[in-house]
Each structure stands twice: as C-alpha cells, then as structure tokens.
A and B are shown apart, each in its own frame.
Chain A
Amino acid sequence: MNKKFFSLLTILSIAALLTFFNVPLASSQGLTILASEFKGDLPANDPTAAAWQKAALVEVPLSAQNVAKPQILNTKVKSVKVRSLYNESQVAIWVEWADETKNDEMVRVQDFRDSVAVQFPLNASTPFFCMGQQGGNVTLWHWKADWQADITARKDMQTLYPNMYADQYPFAKGDAVNAIAPKDYTDPNYLPALASNNLFASAARTTPVENLIAGGFGTLTSRAASAQTVQGFGVWKENKWQVIFTRTLTVKEADDISFANGKVYPVAFAAWDGANGERNGTKSTSQWVSLQLGGAAPSTAKEETKAPTNFEGIVWAGLPMLMLTGGVLTLLALIFLISKLPGKK
C-alpha cells in the first residue's frame, strides 16, 4: 500500500513538474509547415522560382465555414498548398490553390474576388480558428486578386462600361464626363474615404495584401495605413492561383506578430472563390496548423540546405526532462533496493 501510494505520488509529482516547466510530453500529430532558411533576397514576386522548391510542401485541407451566417456550404477551395521561406530579415509564405476561374474585379455589385488569407493568433494560446475570440485576438494577412490587379491597372466603372454617361462630377477638374479618377478632383477632401486613408478607396495601391486584426465574429478591423507592412504577389495560371505573402520577421507594433527562428506558430488559412459568390464569412477555412521557422531539412530539397537549427528548445525542455528522468530512475532504484531489504516480504 505504501509503495503504491509512493508510486502514485511520484507520478503526480513528475506530472506537476512537467506542467510547471511546460513540458507536456505530447508532440504534434498535425501538419507543420517548415519554413526553410534562404540566403539572399526572398523570391517575393516569383511563385515559380526554384528557391520555393527548397521549402517543404504541405497541403492544408480546408472546409466551408459553417459557424456564422451567412454560409455557403459547398465552397470550392478544398485545400491550399503551402511553402515557406525566410531569411535574416523576412519571412515569405507561398500559397497555391486550384481555381478554374480568375476573378479579379470588384467593380460591379455582382462581382466577387478570389482571395486567400493567412491568420496568426496574437496570444500564446490558440483561439477559435475563425477570427479568434474575445481575449484571443488574431492577425490576418488578406491577399485580394482585385487589389493585385489594381496595382497593374486600376479598374473602375468606365473600364467595364466604356460608353457609360454621367451628368457631372462635382468638384472634378476638366472634362466632367471622363474626369472620374481621384487625381482629377480639385480637393481630395471631397472624397472622404480617400481623405481618411480608407484602404478600399486607395488611389494607388502599394500592396495587394490587407493587414487586419480580429477578436471574434464581426470584429474584423483593418490596421492603420502605417501598419500595412505585408507585401504580396499573386498570379493566376493554368487554373491555379499562386500567391506569395512577404513581411519582415519583426514589427514594432505590440499587437502584431513577430517571428523568431526555431519557434512554432499556429497558423490558419482561408480562401475564397469569387465565381462561387464567396465573400466575407462565406469561405473555406482550415483548422490551426503549425508554422516553424527552421527545423529539419525538407524532404523535397534539391539543393544543400542548412542543418536544423531549432535546438534552443533542448535547454528549456530537454534539461528538465533529463533531470526528471534521472530523478525517476533514482526513485525507482531506491524503491527496488528498499524492497530487497531483509525482513521485507
């Protein structure tokens, strides 16, 4: 009875110590996207660059968002393929998914864009994978096909309806019928969305990616223009979108995510097929998967890659584990020796 009690106490003590040291003795069964280290500039504008082949490919399954209304349960994007690279200053995430139609116009009310988003939790724990939850904010990088197209050539009503007629554009300079671009206005304050730096009204886009923050359904908020630091590039080719997100590893904003080598970050993906009427909450989402900067050499690497560098964890996890293992073995040895003492049955 004493031995049993002692054994139970030992197990519970070890578990308490493991809990204290945050060593749960459970490894992930799920998907981990291993970001490979890359020397030099990241191929941020070339989804077909050979460098991407150095990073391990992970296919992340998606399913229709079926929690908040409105819902489209037969969403079209079933999975996204993901790779990631990083260098000393930046991290890049490459995403590819199948889409038979290219939807990069949002001019008419019946048009919806193709897009893809990457989401990271801002707390240590993983909140709800759809937009986070109260007390569990998430940051989102939302690449939009129409924003990408706007960088090349901004589309407006006159692009789609070249023969349209407008009576007048008040406060615009020159020919009232044709002068409808923001630059044609005498005073931008007459375009309040533009004057207040609303990203949607931006006359000249610098990035096709919107950086947002959310803490539950209905709380999605665009970050300030100064915090729109995520760059992106996307191309549609052979019925596939290939999109690259790029950002600096660290940011100065306290409520945004910074990345460190060797650490594992939960990440989730969402994708929209505009041709299927998918927008806002009607989308395909993934559960949380893991993104790790550094780690084992990818199996698909064609060139020599850097050896794993994420052994920093050994100091924090390995040493307590070794100490505990040693302690347990010593205890077991003591119990064994005590059981062998003369007079013991």
Chain B
Amino acid sequence: MIALETTDRRGLADRVGFTPQLLLRLLLIAAVFDWLVTRTFTRAAIFMPKPPPVILLYQILNVLGQFAFTLTGFVALIMLAWIAWTHLRARHDPLTFIMLTSLIALSLFFLFVAPAGVSAIVYQLLIVVSLGLIIKNSARPAWINIAAPALALLFATLYQLSQQLQLAETSLLFNLGELFFVVTPIVVARDSILRRKWIGLIAALAFLIIHALSPSMTGIIAIWSIGLTLYLPSIFYALAIGCVCVLAMDARTRGGTASRALPILLILAGGYAPQLSSQLFLNLIGVWLLTSKVTLYVVPYPASRARMIACARSATCSLLKMLET
C-alpha cells in the first residue's frame, strides 16, 4: 500500500507508473544534487586552483548540474500539479487546486514574459495564499515543525512582494525570513540531535573553523549556495549545519524522523528567498509534505509483502540447497 491519504491509490498516476514516491525521490535526488553540486561545489571553483584535469572535472559537473537543475524544475512542476490534483480529487478542495495551478501557469508564462508590475504582484500573492491554504488544510498537527519553514517562505515572499510594491525598509522582512530559515533544521532535528550529536558537532565545528579562516569565502558560498547572508551570529549557522547533517542521516531511515527530514532537505535544496520558480516550488512542496501524510517510501501491499516473503523463502531454500551440494 502506498502511504497516501488520497483515495486515488490506483488512479491514473499508478497506471502510468508514476507513483508520488518515485517522483519525490527523483525530485529529492535532483534537487540536492543541484544544490550541493551546481550551486555550491562548482561555484566554489573560484577559490580553487584549476589545472586542466580540474577544469575538465568542473565542466563535466556543470553539464550534470544543468541536467539536475532542469530535472528538478520539470519534476517539481509535475509534483506540484499532482499536489493540486490531490487537493481537488481526494480532499475536495478546489480553491487550493486553483491557486496551485494558477501558480504553475503563471510561472510557465514568466518563461516568455519577465515578471513585472501587476503580474509579479499577483504571482507573489498566489504564493502567499497557496501557502496559507496548504497550512490551513494541514493533516498533521505538528505545528512546531511547520511553523519555521512556512514563516521563512512567507517572509521571503512578503519581502519580494514589498519590493514589487516599492515599500520602504524591506530588509527587516528578509532578515526575519532568514532567521526562520536558519531555525528550521534546528527545530525539526531537535529529537535526533542528541542521538547523533557527534555528527552534528563535527559539522558545526567544521563550519565555525572555515568561517573563522575565511569569512569572505564562506559568505560568498553561503549566498550562492542557499541564499543566506550570514547576518546572524555564526553560531546559529553552525548549529543549523549540524542539524542539517543530523537530518541527512535521519533521511536514510524509514521512521517518523525521515518523514520530517526529507521535506526539510527539499526546502534547503530550494534555498532561502529563492531566485527561481523551481526553487520556490521545492519550498512549497517541502512545506506541503510536512503538513501531509505522504511519505517518500513505498510500503508494500499485503499481497506484495506475501510475495516478497515467499521469494525470500525460496531464495533461502535455494541457497541452502546450494550449500548442501
């Protein structure tokens, strides 16, 4: 059984082989690759000596990064469309469906006509309303996990909206959003941090040392990689990086912690105050995953489970026979 709250378990998506889990895992892999390789590692090249083999390596990584970036954008669009469809069919929530599809349509429209004036304002308002509707229809009561990333996305959007409306003193909104974005992994990893304290500690210390040795390089990479300006005391960012590593370890498990860790990784891959619609969609999908009961892992159907047990038994018998002979 797929751990979905939708009633459309064997619907069109299943018939064509698109399970949400497949899409989400693909999205996660592509988005994290785009984040860590394209937006972080390859951009850090300006600080590295570049003999010809290294240049070749970076060229290869750039091509792969472009592919990961495009794949992220494409799968994020499909995923958001699927979320919109789920809201319409399973939750009887046409308003969220309309908002999300409008968001998708407008982002595609902006491929041809740059966002400006009224259209840009409408787009930002759509993001705010969609975020509000996703949280309003939350199937999970874990507000503490949802609040920080949702507020970070909200303030980042309000910041961009205030720019479009030409309001004064918009940096407060940006800084507030950055604060919530940094707090997000700390809040979500709170249960696991003691269990994996050494990983978190090593990562946090590594950040503090690198930051102390080269604040300018750390600042540049932070802006390029994830959109953070590092205006807060560096201990906050160190703690957050430690928690991100803890969450990355949690993401490898299949327990309840993974259901929190994976959406947070998706949000981090999108970055703070995203510059591109695909990165914004990662943030929205991440928040939606935190508020829904969808997991990234497929739990086998009972019949499938029986088949798997039979296969395992058969394989064990074969192995035993081989050993006997």
Q: Which residues of A contact B (CB under 8 A)?
A: 2-8, 11-12, 14-16, 18-19, 23-32, 34, 56-59, 61, 63, 66-68, 78, 81, 128, 133-134, 216, 264, 287, 290, 292, 295-300, 308, 310-311, 313-314, 317-318, 332, 335-336, 339
Contact = CB atoms under 8 A, between A and B. Distances in A.
B71 interface: yes
23 contacts: A5-B17, A8-B22, A11-B71, A12-B71, A15-B75, A24-B73, A25-B70, A25-B73, A25-B111, A26-B73, A26-B279, A27-B109, A28-B114, A32-B116, A63-B171, A67-B216, A67-B219, A295-B114, A296-B113, A297-B117, A299-B117, A335-B15, A339-B16
Contacts, number: 154
Interface in B108-167: 108-120, 160, 163, 166
A18 B70 contact: yes
B180 interface: no
Given A3-B17, A24-B69, A298 B117 contact: yes
A128 B220 contact: yes
B74 A56 contact: no
Contacts of A26: 69, 73, 107, 276-279
Give 3 closest A-B pairs by Cβ, nearest first: A299-B117, A3-B17, A27-B110
A150 to B, nearest CB: 34
Given A3-B15, A310-B113, A332-B16, 11 more contacts: A11-B71, A19-B66, A26-B279, A29-B276, A32-B116, A57-B166, A61-B163, A66-B219, A81-B166, A298-B116, A310-B112
Contacts of A25: 70, 73-74, 77, 108, 111, 278
B224 to A, nearest CB: 8
A62 to B, nearest CB: 10
A31 B75 CA distance: 25
A11 B274 CA distance: 24
Max chain A C-beta neighbours (<10 A), residue from B26, B109, B112, B166:
B112
Interface of B, helix, strand, loop or mixed by DSSP: helix
B19 interface: yes
Contact of A61 (B116, B170, B277): B170
Max chain A C-beta neighbours (<10 A), residue from B70, B174, B277:
B70
A99 to B, nearest CB: 16
A3 B74 CA distance: 19
B301 interface: no
B297 interface: no
A81 B163 CA distance: 11
A333 to B, nearest CB: 10
Contacts of A297: 117
Given A29-B280, A67-B220, A318 B112 contact: yes
A133 B115 contact: no
B77 A336 contact: no
Contact of B116 (A23, A299, A336): A299
Contact of A296 (B71, B117, B220): B117
Interface in B66-102: 66-67, 69-71, 73-75, 77-78
Contacts of B276: 24, 26-29
Max chain A C-beta neighbours (<10 A), residue from B74, B109, B163:
B74
B237 to A, nearest CB: 15
B19 to A, nearest CB: 7
Contacts of A299: 116-118
A335 B116 contact: no
A68 B46 contact: no
Contacts of A27: 107-111, 115, 276-277
A34 B114 contact: yes
B257 interface: no
A148 to B, nearest CB: 27
A310 B115 CA distance: 13
Given A8-B22, A61-B163, A295 B116 contact: yes
B114 A292 contact: yes
A15 B114 contact: no
Nearest to A292: B114
A8 B26 contact: yes
Nearest to B64: A19
Contacts of A18: 70, 73-74
Contact of B70 (A5, A19, A30): A19
Given A27-B108, A61-B171, A15 B67 contact: yes
A11 B171 contact: no
B116 A34 contact: yes
B166 to A, nearest CB: 5
A125 to B, nearest CB: 9
Contacts of B73: 18, 24-26
A11 B74 contact: yes
A8 B71 CA distance: 11
A84 to B, nearest CB: 12
Contacts of B119: 296
Contact of B278 (A4, A24, A128): A24
B236 to A, nearest CB: 17
Max chain A C-beta neighbours (<10 A), residue from B17, B170, B276:
B17
Nearest to A1: B17
Nearest to A317: B111
Given A8-B22, A11-B74, A15-B71, A29 B112 contact: no
Nearest to A287: B223
Contacts of B74: 11, 14-15, 18, 25
A28 B95 CA distance: 25
B229 interface: yes
